[in-house]
Structure 1
Amino acid sequence: MKLHLSTKDYLFMLSFTLSNSLYAANVQIDFEELPLVSSDFYNGSDLAGGFVSYGMDFNNLYTNITSTCCWQGWAYSQTTDTTTPGAANQYSAFAGSGAAGSAKYGIAFSGFDAGGGIIPEITLPVNSNPTSVQITNTTYAALSMQTGDGFAKKFGGLSGNDPDWFLLTVNGLNVADTVVGNVSLYLADYRFANSAEDYILDQWTEVDLTPLANLDVRKLSFRLSSTDNGQFGMNTPAYLALDNFFVDVTTTPGDFDVNGSVGLPDLTIWNTHYGVDLRAAFNHGDADKDGDVDGTDFLTWQANFTTVASITQSIPEPTTLFITGGLTLGLYLPCRRYQIFI
């Protein structure tokens, strides 16, 4: 087969002397690589205690009361129901999909803020800085605020003038679990003098997390609060949806799965995304941070591959590569593009 390289890639090959020094890679957590085996959501019913996506650890506590109950912390989903009220529809984002129309996204339920349980947390790798995340309501929380239900009030009250709000606070915690900074987003706000400006968030909204950068943050905790509270805690359903979480992680070039080493799973990631030429992230195989996944990124992986001299590996089409200690390249120049025969 032929692996097409641009002139830039070819020149890079000729002068390629990349070392395995660490650098800051912008990692995108979008949940798309996480499996859904027999349903449209994962809620921790396997009692794993959480899940990991590209080095980020999402906590989960599942109590096996029934076959579907009960979970706290983080789940992930691909359900799209924006019209059915109630807890049976707790896994749907009110925006109707993941961010930018993607399939999967994360769901948080704060049992702590609902009256007792755990706080949804994301544990970050060492030497990392969160940069941004996209947030929206779940359908369950949004419709509860919009019309009220058996547990929670209709936001605005009967007159529509009650100054209700539903607030997300993202706390940055250091290694001692001390809060060192926070950012916030109103998921609903009915405090405006002009009630026409009152809103319940129904679209994915970007939250800037850079105020938490360079504070040695090791965890992010997601706290929810509301004007609607009762004897046992918050009445508003303590849920949110999360997607496109970006983190700057210090790692080795080519460590696309952000597990601390460069190996064959990283080559699989590069191979899966080879040819993506718009807004690719590091964990999609974009080692040189130019927004695409191409031959230059493969060479970066190869230069940092931990055991390249002892591996013979065949990768399936469309980007078949045969590795035996290194990569033997035949080059020729057809017109204005270089092609590598492998």
Structure 2
Amino acid sequence: MKKLSLLLLLSVFVFCGCSDDDDDVRNEIVINFDNQLPQSESELKTEEGVKETPTDYYYKWNFKDPNNLVEFTHYYSEMGFGGGFTYTNKTDITTPGFNNISAITAKGKNGKVYFTSNSNSFTPAQVTNLNPDKYEFKGAWITNTTYAYLAIKEGNDGSTPSRVKQFSNGDWFKITAVGYQTNGTEIGRVDFYLADYRDGKTKIVNTWEWFDWSYIEDAAYIQFELNSTDNSEYEGVSYMNTPSYFCLDAITLIED
């Protein structure tokens, strides 16, 4: 009788444990801009930006997703997109150079529209969570731009002579998502290799791959840093030759 009672107790415990796990399913929100560009081969255009100082080259403007869940930095000049984030449906996977902002996939992860970014100290790419009490960052899908892909694979950045080298054994191109609190305190970093020629590998990302941000899910905002083994130096200052461009799609938030 005691053994039977113990078995019944254990059965109830296991059943309740499974039930609790099922109740822990949290809703996800995927950021989508597919309805924002009705014309093909187009990109975000605006004249709403301002120059933070009269000597600045770029106008700066922040834009939000259609549901006002996240906000993105955007820099542009009379010549076009300069940095931060833009969204586009361009499909050119053959033309080298910075004027080509197409993803090497020629499309988004699930639709036609995706984000292209150029992130550096002058035009930092930042995505801000506008509802941190309700949502956390989960991650996004990531791939290379055509510009960066051809620079790495063929040593062709569209300039004459080219300023980049074709990757060889030991080279790599890495993006780091850096999470920050509202007051600017860093809470963590997550790396992803957009190209990896270490240890005999010859991988350049040319499909959409998942970039997991769960380690920095509590960030109020995320900035992106890019580093490469292809660097040069001018007057004692080191700079990266590999184009500091990448593409994101389906940025995903999860309920807090």
Same-fold call, TM cutoff 0.5: yes
- Specify whether residues 45 and 230 from structure 1 end up closer, same or farther in structure 2 by C-alpha distance, changes over 3 A only: farther
Match of 2:44 in 1: 42
Amino acid in the other structure paired with 2:166: K
Amino acid in the other structure paired with 1:57: E
Per-residue Cα deviation, 1:14-63 (whole angstroms, up to 9, x for no partner): xxxxxxxxxx642101321334669611155542702101320001122x
**Any runs of at least 4 consecutive aligned residues in structure 1 with deviations exceeding 3 A, and if so which?**
35-39, 43-46
Amino acid in the other structure paired with 1:201: V
Per-residue Cα deviation, 1:108-136 (whole angstroms, up to 9, x for no partner): 10132xxxx02100010222211121000
Instruction: Report the Cα distance in structure 2 between the residues aligned to 1:181 and 1:41, rounded to whole angstroms.
Output: 32
Correspondence for 1:177 among 181, 184, 198: 184
Match of 2:242 in 1: 236
Amino acid in the other structure paired with 1:60: H
Match of 1:109 in 2: 118
Tell me which structure has the larger Cα radius of gyration.
1
Match of 2:63 in 1: 51
Instruction: Report the Cα distance in structure 1 between the residues aligned to 2:47 and 2:116, rounded to whole angstroms.
Output: 15
Match of 1:78 in 2: 89
Task: Give yes or no for the alignment of 1:124 onto 2:134.
Answer: no
Correspondence for 2:146 among 129, 139, 144: 139
Unaligned runs of 5+ in 1: 1-23, 251-342
- Specify whether residues 70 and 99 from structure 1 end up closer, same or farther in structure 2 by C-alpha distance, changes over 3 A only: closer
Match of 2:55 in 1: none
Per-residue Cα deviation, 1:197-220 (whole angstroms, up to 9, x for no partner): 31110000011221123x3x1001
Q: Report the Cα offset of residue 176 of structure 1.
A: 1.1
Task: Give yes or no for the alignment of 1:27 onto 2:29.
Answer: yes
Unaligned runs of 5+ in 2: 1-25, 50-59, 157-161
Task: Assess if the C-alpha contact under 8 Å between 2:40 and 2:90 holds in 1.
Answer: no
Per-residue Cα deviation, 1:236-261 (whole angstroms, up to 9, x for no partner): 000000001110256xxxxxxxxxxx
Amino acid in the other structure paired with 2:103: A
Q: Report the Cα offset of residue 71 of structure 1.
A: 1.6
Q: How many pairs were matched up?
A: 209
| Aligned-pair Cα RMSD in Å | 2.2
Instruction: Report the Cα distance in structure 2 between the residues aligned to 1:144 and 1:36, rounded to whole angstroms.
Output: 30
- Specify whether residues 52 and 211 from structure 1 end up closer, same or farther in structure 2 by C-alpha distance, changes over 3 A only: same
TM-score of the two chains, using structure 1 as the length reference: 0.57
Instruction: Report the Cα distance in structure 1 between the residues aligned to 2:186 and 2:115, rounded to whole angstroms.
Output: 23
TM-score of the two chains, using structure 2 as the length reference: 0.75
- Specify whether residues 40 and 74 from structure 1 end up closer, same or farther in structure 2 by C-alpha distance, changes over 3 A only: same
Amino acid in the other structure paired with 1:56: V
Instruction: Report the Cα distance in structure 2 between the residues aligned to 1:36 and 1:235, rounded to whole angstroms.
Output: 35
Same amino acid, percent of matched pairs: 30
